[in-house]
Amino acid sequence: MSRSIAIAGVGQTVYKRRHVEMNSAELVRGAVLEALNDAGLGLDAIGLVVGGVAPDALAGMNHIDLASIARPGIPYFRVNTGGATGSAAFLAARTWIAAGRCDAALVVALERMGHASTAQKVFNSIFDPIYEKDISISTISMVAMRATMLMQEQGYTLDHWAGLAAKNSKSAQLNDTLDHPKLFTAAEVLASPVLAWPIHALEACPMSEGACVMVLVADDLAGERNVAWIHGAAGLSDTYAMGDRMHRPEGSLVELYTLIHSAQKAFTQAGISKPSEQIDCVEIHAPFASAEAMAYTALGLCGERTGPQFADGLISQTERIVVNPSGGPQVANPVSAAALIRIAECAQQVRGRAGRRQKDGIRRAVATGQGGATQFSTCVVLGADRP
Amino acid sequence: MNHPSFVHGVAVSVSWQITSASLTDLIFRATTAALKDSNIDLARVDSIVLSAHDLVDGRSLSSMVTAPAAGAYLRDEIRLAEDGLAAMSLASARIAAGETEFSVIAAWGRASEGNYSHTSRFAFDPFLIQPFGVDEFAVSAWRLSAWIGEHGERLEARQRAHTARAARAARNPRAVCADVRPTVNHPMLASEAPRFADIVVAAVIGRPESGVRIAGVGHSSEASMIGDRNLTRMQALREAVARARTEGRESAGVDVYQLAGPTLADEAMALEAVQLAPAGEGFDAYAALANVNPSGGSESGWCFPTSGLLNFAECYLQLSGRAGGVQLRGPLRRALATGLSPMGGQVAHAIVLEAA
């Protein structure tokens, strides 16, 4: 990578169940103007717009991005890698700048799932139509299988899932991009209805709409701006077939092979050899507590068998590393944007611009992205220092 | 560019309703054929860039199931919901940036399993436009109507262009055999509509040198609202091609043109947009210039989002002297491929290929 690249601007709408008062173009416009203003750049400086919109069916409209994101005269394309859409769009923009095709790019991720009357049915259509639809597998039962494996193989308990959900709901109270975030205790999580054992209702992410926008710039445009430098970034894809990942030599379904190797590649680029010591903050793309737990070991934040103890440290707030200071996707999960939001939140922490949720001393932050049946993984390392 | 991208192999699968093969089967076969054509082992491929669309494939997040068939198993992969030529361009950017050594690019769409006219309707404003039943091909008809308003009906020229295009498609060994076309609106003629097809295109590009390189890329977009556009001008295509030509330092001219468009009218007006023909003479030029869409264009098979990558593959085959029955006489040095997004080509992509 010949050019250093940085995040110079971030714009986010409020994330809430449904934006009834604004159409998609209006949502995008507000976030774009905020990001450009944050970067101190005009639209004329932008050499590429990358759109991020995941399942079209969620928005109830085909190619919703063409009317709301693409801009006349500016090169444009859309990425769709499911939950990892936002981070994959980010990687594409970074590639474009690194290749010398432009000096500044806009990444725009938009989610309108609140307009889908049958969001779960849309999600269920991701599964194999011949072999799996008959058994009514859903995104929630898919997560439940993994949570059960983690409990059996690594010693996690129901209290961990409830404790992590409560931790994230507490963090969410300081996040001004959220619309009236719920505050609940671990006991309240355990008392909420079971969706698919061991997943309780208060552990599950809410439906969310919103737009997240980011301005990426080459080093010569970064100048003296307050930017978050990209120290490393990588992605990897796996097979969809979950059964094939249960006991294969590369690692089981809950060992997140793709995140392990994405992180290793990104960490190598960033010069990180001891993640638990060299990373200050992590935003994990985890719509459920068990998904967050899977990432601890994959990212090297803890040892192979010490995930539950690491979770205990986070729940009791004794762990040095800050995990999901925004509250993470458990408190707002606009699917198309969720992975980009993780990067945006890390950027704001590194830049010292995270408002009430800003944590002290964040010099290096890591954002993950997950899509499909946890088969698409991305890992991005951001830092305050020019690489 | 930092590192130039070289084309190592392609494979094209154009069919209709093969009931013994799933979409995944078709993708696997085409990708395997492209790797064989390139003589590159899959183990050397370190990135995959895909182009597919959920509503064409009939499921949400379609690449979740289909991506591994294109080689995206434990590999760096990204999927665009955009014309396949954008995927090719992104793959070449990855090579230019030093991120990858070899990349597989694949685009697919199976028109026989869906109804693209119906699907494309849902891209329009749900309150103001969808009730009128406007689809992708209605936009093409509006474009032709606007052209007729400027230049007259020119039925003879249109017929000559259709005859030439059909003759090229008949010689193309990769053309679809079935004759299934969308219903089109006046003033479009049924023969000017595309032949729907089940299409998978795969290509292998890499940093090591080969006989053909990507010399220039260009992209642009225009207003989303149809009423805000000059439909006959095709501004996004015009700009994308100009940028690709500038980057490719294409002063010596292009020998082969593969121009995308859902209908004959779109292809003919693309000739005018890329300045191969004066305004009003696109159909005449289409009939007269054998090096424009030698494949037969959308008469050989059409399905979003494959057209741009299909054009890229046809250009590569021409420059390699392996285009079969539609091979142009050489020497062929440069080729230009274009790709368009829905609706009416709001977003356009162009790539200049050059024989090394």
Contact A95 B60 (CB under 8 A): no
Q: Is A355 on the interface with B (CB under 8 A)?
A: no
Residue B187: how many CB atoms within 10 A of its CB? 16
Chain B CB contacts of A238 below 8 Å: 73-74
Query: Given a cut of 70, is residue B252 above it in pLDDT?
Result: no
Average pLDDT over residues A180-190: 97
Could you give the angle at which helices A289-298 and A158-172 cross, rounded to 10 degrees? Answer: 100
Distance from CA of B45 to the nearest CA of A (A): 13
- Decide: helix, strand or coil at residue A361: coil
By percentage, how much of chain A surpasses pLDDT 90?
A: 83
DSSP letter at A206?
Answer: P
Q: Which residue type sits at B300?
A: S
Cβ–Cβ pairs < 8 A, chains A and B: 174
Query: Given a cut of 80, is residue A136 above it in pLDDT?
Result: no
Q: pLDDT of A17-54, one tens digit each?
A: 999 999 999 999 999 999 999 999 999 999 999 999 98
Q: Parallel, antiparallel, or unpaired for β A281-283 and A364-371?
A: parallel
Mutation for testing the B interface, residue in A58, A101, A137 having most B CBs under 10 Å: A101
Q: How far apart are CA B333 and CA B312, in angstroms?
A: 14
Chain A CB contacts of B81 below 8 Å: 53, 56, 78-80
- Write the DSSP assignment of B62-86 as a string of letters: THHHHGGGGT-SSBEEEEESS-HHH
Distance from CA of A128 to the nearest CA of B (A): 7
Could you give the angle at which helices A139-154 and A307-315 cross, rounded to 10 degrees? Answer: 110
Contact B55 A73 (CB under 8 A): no
8 A C-beta contact, residue B328 and residue B318: yes
Confidence of residue B250 (pLDDT cuts 50, 70, 90): low
**Which tokens belong to A31?**
């976030």
Chain B CB contacts of A125 below 8 Å: 59-60
Residue A266: how many CB atoms within 10 A of its CB? 24
- Decide: helix, strand or coil at residue B127: coil
Q: Is A243 on the interface with B (CB under 8 A)?
A: no
Q: How far apart are CA B150 and CA B279, in angstroms?
A: 9
- Write the DSSP assignment of A25-44 as a string of letters: HHHHHHHHHHHHHHHT--GG
Q: Which residue type sits at A262?
A: S
Q: How far apart are CA A257 and CA A72, in angstroms?
A: 40
- Write the DSSP assignment of B198-209 as a string of letters: EEEEEEEEESS-
By percentage, how much of chain B surpasses pLDDT 70?
A: 98
Contact B79 A76 (CB under 8 A): no
- Helix, strand, coil: what percent of chain B each, to 5? 40, 20, 40
Q: How far apart are CA A120 and CA A133, in angstroms?
A: 13
Average pLDDT over residues B272-287: 97
Q: Which residue of chain B has the CA closest to A242?
A: B65
Nearest alpha carbon to residue A73 among B40, B354, B243? B243
Q: pLDDT of A282-313, one tens digit each?
A: 999 999 999 999 999 999 999 988 999 999 99
Q: Is A76 on the interface with B (CB under 8 A)?
A: yes
8 A C-beta contact, residue A218 and residue A5: yes
Chain A CB contacts of B96 below 8 Å: 98-101
Q: pLDDT of A157-176, one tens digit each?
A: 999 999 999 999 999 999 99
**Which tokens belong to B323?**
């285009």
Q: pLDDT of B202-230, one tens digit each?
A: 999 999 999 999 999 999 999 999 999 99
Q: Parallel, antiparallel, or unpaired for β A322-323 and A228-237?
A: unpaired
ipTM of the complex: 0.97
Specify the pLDDT at position A84: 96
Q: Is A353 on the interface with B (CB under 8 A)?
A: no
Q: Is A67 on the interface with B (CB under 8 A)?
A: yes
Q: How far apart are CA A117 and CA A115, in angstroms?
A: 6
Q: How far apart are CA B51 and CA B303, in angstroms?
A: 12
Q: pLDDT of A62-73, one tens digit each?
A: 899 999 999 999
**Which tokens belong to B233?**
């001008």
B159: Cβ–Cβ under 8 A, 6 or more apart, which residues? none
Higher-confidence residue of B171 and B247: namely B171
Could you give the angle at which helices B136-151 and B264-273 cross, rounded to 10 degrees? Answer: 60
Query: Given a cut of 90, is residue A61 above it in pLDDT?
Result: no
Query: Given a cut of 60, is residue B154 above it in pLDDT?
Result: yes
Confidence of residue B275 (pLDDT cuts 50, 70, 90): very high
8 A C-beta contact, residue A203 and residue A189: yes
Nearest alpha carbon to residue A105 among A132, A142, A64, A77? A77
Q: How far apart are CA B124 and CA B128, in angstroms?
A: 8
Average pLDDT over residues B328-353: 96
Contact B221 A234 (CB under 8 A): no
Q: How far apart are CA B306 and CA B209, in angstroms?
A: 26
- Decide: helix, strand or coil at residue B352: strand
Distance from CA of B194 to the nearest CA of A (A): 21
Specify the pLDDT at position B1: 47
**Average pLDDT along chain A:** 94
8 A C-beta contact, residue B2 and residue A99: yes
Nearest alpha carbon to residue B215 among B183, B175, B255? B255
Residue A134: how many CB atoms within 10 A of its CB? 9
Higher-confidence residue of A316 and A247: namely A316
Specify the pLDDT at position A1: 52
Q: Is A183 on the interface with B (CB under 8 A)?
A: no
Confidence of residue A55 (pLDDT cuts 50, 70, 90): confident
**Average pLDDT along chain B:** 95
Record the pTM. 0.97
Looking at the partner chain, which of B72, B123, B235 has a beta carbon nearest the beta carbon of A237?
A: B72
B172: Cβ–Cβ under 8 A, 6 or more apart, which residues? B295, B296, B300, B324, B325, B326
Q: Is A40 on the interface with B (CB under 8 A)?
A: no
Distance from CA of B66 to the nearest CA of A (A): 9
